[in-house]
Amino acid sequence: MTATTTPSASAPTPAAAAPTTVRIPAFSVAGIAVRTSNNDEMNPAIARLGGLWGRFFSESWERKLPSRGDDGRIYGVYSGYESNEHGAFDVTAGVAVADAAAAQAVPGAVRVDIEAGDYLVFTGQGDMPQMVIDTWVQIWHYFAANPQVQRRFGTDFEAYEGPEKVAIHIGVKTA
């Protein structure tokens, strides 16, 4: 997977760097998934994302998948949006796979295809899970302050480059 990076023309949110714009080619991620919503994730009694990631690591899903992509990163993919950030969506914890069909042969695995297109990239660094939460807050503030930038609500994804570093890619509409 390759991406072309250009600086974003939008102003940064307070205390945060401006996102960069990248063009991402289509690729596939395989792993395990849940359906949730931001509202559900605010309630610890019904939140699903912590359990998804706990299962992903405790069952070593990153090692179970054949034909694993060569970038070595772990992904959290947001897809199947019901509407926008207020509706339900799917989250897949997984790895990029070179052979999407072979990955589906693993019992319990699902595949999601990342849409090709333009993405704004927001980065976070620090202790998990707070750095991911803080980066999503940065994203929500960015879109609230920049209503001219429209999200696609097709696929978005988190790319983990280690236990304390994330790049969150948000699909945006182009004019």
Which among 110, 113, 120, 108 is positioned nearest to 172, based on CA atoms? Answer: 120
Starting from the edge strand earliest in sequence, which strands make up the sheet with 74-79, in order? 4-7, 20-24, 117-125, 165-171, 156-160, 74-79, 88-97, 27-37, 110-114
| C-beta separation of 28 from 102 below 8 A | no
Residues of the chain with pLDDT under 50: 1-15
Strand partners, 53: none
Residue 68: predicted pLDDT: 59
Write the pLDDT tens digit of every residue in 125-174. 999 889 999 999 999 999 999 999 999 999 999 999 888 999 999 999 98
Which among 109, 103, 111, 168 is positioned nearest to 142, based on CA atoms? Answer: 168
Question: What is the rounded CA–CA span in Å between residue 4 and residue 21?
Answer: 8
| Token duo for residue 169 | 């890619």
Residue 72: predicted pLDDT: 76
Rg (CA), the chain: 16
98 alpha carbon, distance to own chain's centre: 18
Determine phi and psi for 139, rounding to 5 degrees.
-65, -50
